[in-house]
Amino acid sequence: MAALKKDAFVPNMVETMKEFKDTKNIDRTTLVSVLEESFRNVIAKIFGSDENFDVIVNPDKGDLEIYRNRVVVADGEVKDENKEIALSEAQKIEHDYEVGEDVSEPIEFAKFGRRAILNLRQTLASKILELEHDSLYNKYKDRVGQIISGEVYQVWKREVLLVDDENNEMILPKAEQIPSDQYRKGETVRAVILRVDNENNNPKIILSRTSPMFLERLLEAEVPEINDGLISIKRIARMPGERAKIAGESYDERIDPVGACVGVRGSRVHGIVRELCNENIDVINYTANIKLFIQRALSPAQVSSINVDEENKKAEVYLQPEEVSLAIGRGGLNIKLASMLTGFTIDVFRELGENESEEDIYLEEFSDEIDQWVIDAIKGIGLDTAKQVLNAPREMLIEKADLEEETVDGVIRVLKAEFEQ
């Protein structure tokens, strides 16, 4: 029974080596070095020194050999059993050994003892894991901003776990998923590498499908003029899965950035739209002229005039009544994207007609019909008079003044009644 227990150490160590020979992301030289160092540390603890030992690691086969080298001395003259061997003992290994010769004999794993072997396994596992983490982090930290394909491995409520072609794990958080995305185990998903976290030497590859970078990389793949440096994407604003606005600039007067990005009959954006769950894509010409840029960003609405406060990054845009709804867009999407694209807070107003230039009335005059807190909320967004409120879009009053629809409708009704008298 004792012999069986002793021999049981050998397959354990062989299994350990087989585990490590299949390690990911670690080059062969580094792996051999780590394995050899770990075994030499154990040898030094057991025998007092590892100087006279040869450790031969073969990670391809998943095994190793350890040899101890000792000098043959006359019987009874052995002073250091680790470095010297008696002549009679040496001749048991090979009968023609003589005093002064070197004897090299293999050391079996079992001689290390159970505790040493267990410690070795744990040390090796820890070092290899640390190396894998370092290698994974170094591999992906330089790939941030690149598109990668991964296979869906697990779908959870707050995130999706994907694996790359080397079985490295990648995380796609809920916040970085397009709302209408559906994921099934085994299917392939494309995303951009958003960042690589490395807390406590435990790298996490975070992906995104909602980042403007993802749309930019998709465009680069579809529009050769971007890779050729003839067109550059200056800014991107996205409401993932719904709509996006892109500002492009051409460095060749013969090339229109809008036409180049969209393609003939939208051929270059069709695939991108499908990838982004039917996210509509608008492309405009970039310009350093702020007023013109805001005007283009609000397309398809036709702007009549713009007042820009560059210091506070605010813009007042005046439009004909029939253009206001186009400027705002369904659910306020168009004006939100225009603000994101330009970096300006945009307020839209209806232009007054010739017959509407009569005297205005300050909101404070209506304090007997409108609650003071409502007046204060409206004044807080820069509207001080009745005409200013009536010319502002209803949706803007609800969103920016943070008022209920019924409250806004009541205010508009009171103000209109005043001018209809």
pLDDT tops 50 at residue 10: no
In this structure, how many other beta carbons lie within 10 angstroms of the beta carbon of residue 81? 12
27 residue type, one letter: D
CA angle 373, 332, 301 (to 5 degrees): 120
Least confident stretch, 125-129, 190-194, 249-253: 125-129
Average pLDDT across the chain, whole number: 85
3-class state of residue 66 by DSSP: strand
- Residues 34 and 193: their CA atoms lie apart, in Å, by 31
Report the range out of 230-234, 319-323, 416-420 with the highest average pLDDT.
230-234
> Highest-confidence range of 5-9, 105-109, 310-314, by mean pLDDT?
310-314
Q: List Cβ neighbours of 417 (8 Å cut-off, separation of 6 or more).
A: none
Q: pLDDT digit string (tens) for 203-225? A: 999 999 999 999 999 999 999 99
- How far is the CA of 207 from the CAs of 189, 261, 337, in angstroms? 11, 25, 23
Task: Give the model's confidence band at 22: pLDDT under 50 very low, under 70 low, under 90 confident, else very high.
Answer: low
User: CA-CA distance, 27 to 15, in Å (whole number)?
Assistant: 20
Q: Which two tokens stand for residue 205?
A: 């590859």
Quick one: pLDDT at residue 253?
Answer: 87
pLDDT digits (tens, 9 = 90+) for 63-96: 778 888 989 888 888 888 888 888 888 888 888 8
Q: Is 193:148 a contact under the CB 8 Å cutoff?
A: yes
Supply the pLDDT for residue 44: 82
Ordered DSSP codes for 77-90: --S-TTTEEEHHHH
The separation between the first and the last C-alpha atoms of the chain, rounded to the nearest angstrom, is 110
Q: Which of these, 246, 216, 260, 259, lies nearest to 342 by C-alpha position? A: 246
Strands 280-285 and 243-250: parallel
E-assigned strand segments in 166-302: 169-173, 188-199, 202-208, 231-239, 243-250, 280-285
Going along the chain from its start, the domains and CATH numbers come out as: 2-137 (3.30.1480), 150-209 (2.40.50.140), 211-282 (3.30.300.20), 287-351 (3.30.300.20), 355-420 (1.10.150.20)
What distance in Å separates the CA atoms of residue 271 and residue 182, rounded to the nearest whole number? 18
pLDDT digits (tens, 9 = 90+) for 293-343: 999 999 999 999 999 999 999 999 998 888 888 888 888 899 999 999 999
pLDDT of residue 153: 95
- Only one residue has tokens 């159970």, namely 114
> The tokens of 102 are what?
């070197």
Span 150-165, mean pLDDT?
94
| Residue 48 scores a pLDDT above 60 | yes
Measured between alpha carbons, how far is 145 from 127 in angstroms, rounded to an integer? 30
How sure is the predictor about 282, in pLDDT bands with cuts at 50, 70 and 90? very high
pLDDT per residue over 352-376, tens digit each? Answer: 655 555 567 888 888 888 889 988 8
> Between helices 290-297 and 333-342, what is the axis angle to 10°?
150
Percent above pLDDT 90 for the chain: 38
Regarding predicted confidence, which is higher, 166 or 25? 166
- Residues 116 and 46: beta-carbon distance below 8 Å: yes
pLDDT interval class at 2 (50, 70, 90)? very low
**Residue-level pLDDT at 355:** 52
Share of the chain above pLDDT 70, in %: 89
Cis peptide before 300 (omega within 30 of 0): yes
Report the C-alpha gap between 252 and 266 in whole angstroms. 21
Q: How many CB atoms lie within 10 A of CB 70?
A: 21
Q: How confident is the model at residue 6 (pLDDT cuts 50, 70, 90)?
A: very low
pLDDT recorded at residue 124: 77
